[in-house]
Amino acid sequence: MGSVWFILQYMSGFGNEHVSEDPRCPGALPEGQNNPQVCPYGLYAEQLSGSAFTCPRPTNKRSWLYRILPSVCHKPFKPLEEGHLTHNWDEVEPDPNQVTVPERAPGPARRTGLHTLCGAGEPRGRNGIAVHIFVCNTSMINRCLYNSDGDFLIVPQQGKLLITTEFGKMLVEPNEICVIQQGMRFSVEVFGETRGYILEVYGAHFELPDLGPIGANGLANPRDFLVPVAWYEDRQVPGGYTVISKYQGKLFAAQQDFSPFNVVAWHGNYTPYKYHLEKFMVINSVAFDHADPSIFTVLTAKSTRPGVAVADFVIFPPRWGVADNTFRPPYYHRNCMSEFMGLIKGHYEAKEEGFQPGGASLHSMMTPHGPDADCFEKASKAKLEPERVAEGTMAFMFESSLSLAVTKWGLQTSNQLDKNYYKCWEPLKSHFNPNCK
């Protein structure tokens, strides 16, 4: 197992036109065309389109795969009951209250699958998001999954993920993320108890945020995104290989007798990719006031309204705090966006107690939130010197312009739901004195 980590190779660049072929078959990519009458090595040419054919070039996404057998060779799909996936946002009555699961919930010894916590919109209309939790301690043996509904942004919180895709292999560890885009088949190998978060986006792909007056460099730099290199296996599976499709919010399974990871070469700009969160170049206030959290945006999935995202992936990494005459923790806030918070490691600066790695919180549209009473009192009296903030911590936020609904599973199965979350603000007291400015 250990040697696997050292042979993995990647190509660098976000959204680049990449070219890759397995070195065991040099010259597997056709010269000068995509779909020759006969492909090298007797391969089949197959295009994977991530956008409409007629999208403008900056948003046109596609890759050509050269494979031993085309992906169409499978038996019919049949419904598969597994996990707790849903896009039914009417399972429970709306509730605007702040919601938190302060730490990861325990469970049975053997678990696998995706469990939907909250979301909005729906995949048939190609507009919306869902937030899932994944838990597993068994690898996907002779099984793979692809998402017909949208893109998966995967945030491991515990355990390594060795992800095999049609484009090659990626090792993704806590403090890294990966994106598996719509339609891409992948299988996951794990090495013990593994869990994390998934942001699913329907109808849009993730992009790097515009930098505006920041300039040409900063935040998540394009060259730090890594794409796997071609790797294939020519493996027959007499007992059957299960291909799972997530389609219109449901799972379906089809059988075939060969591995789907039979792509010998590929080229294009529609790929899976990963990113290490420590590579993020933090921008922060160096004079006064607390900057808006949008300066911590790693990736965004844009809506049709300028400047408004269907979903943003935002992180709160270790950084320096130097602002003078400033309340340095996050400010009290009511937001026209929905904010789902998670914690990969460490202690979140605005709530150091009671919010543990693997936990989550949801602050719905226009529901007030902010530092708890202890944080406010401490930060209001602190001596303002240059200090490291969030050292050893990585918190993140899925922010959306959609009004998110919590699922029945999210409320009932998350048996550690903190019903007393609101009490962390109750000790806040009035400091108002009309005679003292």
Neighbour tally for 133: CB within 10 Å: 26
Neighbour tally for 287: CB within 10 Å: 9
290 labelled catalytic: yes
Catalytic residue, chosen from 276, 290, 347, 363, is 290
Burial class (CB in 10 A: 0-12, 13-18, 19+), 13: middle
369 is in an annotated binding site: yes
CA distance 343 to 320: 19
333 is in an annotated binding site: yes
348 is in an annotated binding site: yes
CA distance 313 to 201: 11
Place of tokens 């290490």: 276
Amino acid, single-letter form, for residue 7: I
Pairing outcome for strands 143-147 and 114-122? unpaired
* Sequence-ordered list of residues with C-beta below 8 angstroms from that of 220, at least 6 positions apart, any chain: 14, 208, 275, 279, 280, 281, 298, 299
CA distance 38 to 49: 22
CA distance 379 to 384: 9
Annotated binding site: 333, 339, 348, 369
- Residue ranges of the annotated binding site for homogentisate are 348, 369
Give the residue numbers of the binding site for Fe cation: 333, 339, 369
Catalytic residue ranges: 290
